[in-house]
Structure 1
Amino acid sequence: MKNSSAQFDLFDEAPGYREVPRPAPRPVRKQATPPLDARDEEEVAQRLEATGRFQVLRKLVPRPVIPRSESAHPRLAVLVDTETTGLQHAKDEVIEIGAVAFTYDDDGTVGDVVGVYGGLRQPSSPIPPEITRLTGITDEMVEGQEIDIDALDVLIKPADLIIAHNAGFDRPFCEKLSPSFIPKAWACSVSEIRWADLGFEGNKLGYLVGQSGLFHEGHRATDDCHALLEVLSRPVGDEMIVPFVELLRSSTRSRVRIFAENSPFDMKDHLKARGYRWSDGSDGRPKAWWTEIDEERYDDELRYLRTEIYRWEDAEPLTLHITAENRFR
């Protein structure tokens, strides 16, 4: 008779075995990282930049506003930015305006912020969807809103200079909004600063802010004015040029606008190649090819038109002398 023996599966519990539950692991407490103060943050940023593998953007913090009487700088400039329902000032309307007033010296030294205004305005018709997509401004935001012209004029009336990032667009809208803008000297921070020569890859405000080592979270009109002020006041390039200094010099330079009225049709490609632009007359300018040049270049340009375009030595094309008071209209 074959003997039988008990077999135990090594993976089964042995007789009499009772598993004792293991205690749950104790949670590891993470030590809270102490917050850095501003000096420590800047040291970390500089150490990262020193490796050559990082570029650090600093958050743009608007300058504090102080009373004009407390600023030691004699001149007053106002940065303005508008949002509108479209591109044509003859029919479209302002839906937002931002303004930041700051003092400066004649040598271009930026002083203090002495006033800020921002306001929304409900237009006479709904805001086009494309404008809402671009600006973030909705009909609900502007419902019942109106710009306080009196508060805006408090900043504009004493200003020596109005600055806009594309003054050719903003000036006509601002002049429709308030007559206080009409007699003012204007400067354009897009066209009157050689941004490429200063090392910037473009002249859009977003490029300028980023390449100045900054970022800002708000994108309302006043936020953009604060951002532009920082870009204008920071030295850049190997020569540490302050963009506002260049803007101030450009704005005081007289220029000449020449309209090549009644120029021969077959000369249009020559004019275009020389930098002339076509005006169809819809903006109040003559219907003609035109250009704007520095005043000292006028004699050479007149000689070119007489010999190459009109081929008549007594030709007198319409000429307008342009200053900061009538530029960008």
Structure 2
Amino acid sequence: MEELNKQPAGSGNDNARLRDQKILRPVRDRDDWPRTAPEGEAVRRIAVIDCETTGLAVDRHQIIELCMAIVQVNDAGRIVAVESVRSGLVDPGHPLTAEITELTGLTDEDLAGRSIDDDQVADILASCDGAVAFNAGFDRPHLEKLIRRHVPVPWGCVMMDVPWRKIGFEPGPQGYNLMQAGYYMPNAHRAKDDVLALVQLADHVCADGETIMAKTLAAMDAPAWRFEAKQAPYGYKDDLREQRYRWAWGRLHNLWAKHVRPASYQDELAWYVRTIGQQPAIVPLPASERYRFHTTWTPA
């Protein structure tokens, strides 16, 4: 709480206010990044991905713009090079809504007759050591719908895999997290701009000395599981929803499921047994299977 008393001009209060200010810098342009890592430095090649779509529902909407940046990450989790940035447009076959045009700046004329080589996208993904998106649960399903196949590359989600509050951030959209890291996006909601902003955010060094990318890759390398509420009675649906289980419907299954990480495994299992009164089906979830659309995986 601020004091009501007036402070004399030039007092220490002015210096304190200056210390509380944060200067935001623009996201680095593509040309500001080296193309290759220093000779002899071991790196992992990671595809940083962003999709612009006609809407949020994977079963009803589709990609209209895709961007993939192939970055090289050293053992310390620093992005030492942006090897390539590739983007493309896709004609959805129908007019865009006014909302999507306003959001992305794309028009029907921009997209008319445009398409993306799905084999090329699949080959690029397969050549990488992993793929990262801010919201992988959104981008991976849309991407795999576009290319009509599952590429078994490990995926990481910056939004879900990073313990934001533990590292001093208030979790939020990509642009909000970026500002907390000290940067702003000159442009937003075009795939290339969002990808370059995510590269900048991923290379941010946190107070503990680790980068956001390092934390994301650590989560990718760590084990995870899918808890499936296969035999849970219908009456427990509200309990499961409040515990952040998601309804997975499809041709092969209808059940509640949750992505569980090592830090919460024991607590989640204890909650399930205490609340539902039985064990869940527990399925190992390698990074190559995470964040897929629920109609594309088979339950235990």
**TM-score > 0.5, shorter chain as reference:** yes
Q: Which residue of 1 aligns with 2:255?
A: 288
* Cα distance in 1, alignment partners of residues 232 and 184 from structure 2: 48
Specify the alignment match of 1:325 in structure 2: 288
Q: Highest CA radius of gyration, 1 or 2?
A: 1
* Alignment-derived partner of residue 118 in structure 1: 87
Which residue in 1 is equivalent to 2:129?
A: 160
Shift of 1:280: 5.4
Instruction: Pick one of 121, 133, 141 that aligns with 2:110.
Output: 141
The one-letter code matched in structure 2 to 1:279 is W
Helix, strand or coil for the counterpart of 1:191?
helix
1:102 to 59, 62, 71: 71
Aligned match of 1:253 in 203, 208, 222?
A: 222
Q: Describe the SS at the equivalent of 1:126.
A: coil
1:224 to 194, 198, 203: 194
Q: C-alpha displacement at 1:240, in angstroms?
A: 3.3
Note the C-alpha offset of 1:268.
Answer: 3.7
- TM-score by structure 1 length? 0.73
How far residue 153 of structure 1 moved from its aligned partner, in angstroms, is 4.8
Describe the shift of the 1:178–1:266 C-alpha distance in structure 2 as closer, same or farther (beyond 3 A): closer
- Deviation of 1:306 (Å): 4.7
Distance 1:287 1:179, change over 3 A: closer
1:236 aligns with 2:206: yes
Residue 18 of structure 2: aligned partner: 51
Unaligned runs of 5+ in 1: 1-47
**Structure 1 residues 181 and 258 mapped into 2: Cα distance closer, same or farther (>3 Å)?**
closer
Q: Is the 8 A contact 1:58 1:213 kept in 2?
A: yes
Question: Shift in Å at residue 178 of structure 1?
Answer: 2.7
Counterpart check, 1:277 vs 2:245: yes
User: Which residue matches 2:141?
Assistant: 172
Q: Distance in 1 between matches of 2:38 and 2:122?
A: 18
Identity of aligned residues (%): 29
Secondary structure of the 1:61 match is coil
Cα RMSD, aligned residues only:
2.9
Q: What are the superposed Cα offsets for residues 286-307 of structure 1, whole Å, 9 maximum, x if unpaired? A: 3233333235865665565455
CA drift of 1:202 comes to: 2.7
Could you tell me which amino acid in structure 1 is paired with residue 174 of structure 2? L
Q: 1:184 Cα shift?
A: 0.8
- Give distance in 2, aligned partners of 1:213 and 1:167: 23
Alignment of 1:174-213 (within 5 A): 174-178=143-147, 182-213=151-182
Question: Cα gap change, 1:154/1:222 in structure 2, threshold over 3 Å: closer, same or farther?
Answer: farther
Task: Give how far 1:113 is off.
Answer: 0.8
Go from structure 1 to structure 2 and tell me whether the alpha carbon gap of 1:321 and 1:145 turns closer, same or farther (over 3 Å shift).
Answer: same
Taking a change above 3 Å as real, the CA distance of residues 285 and 163 of structure 1, as seen in their structure-2 partners, is farther
Secondary structure of the residue aligned to 2:171 is: coil
Q: TM-score, normalised by structure 2?
A: 0.79
Structure with more helix by fraction: 2
Question: How far did 1:125 drift?
Answer: 1.3
Change (3 A) 1:154 1:317: closer
Letter in 2 for 1:318: A
1:156 aligns to what SS in structure 2?
helix
- 1:328 offset after TM fit, Å? 0.3
Q: Does 2:42 match 1:79?
A: no
Q: How many correspondences in the alignment?
A: 275
Deviation at 1:147, TM superposition (A): 2.1
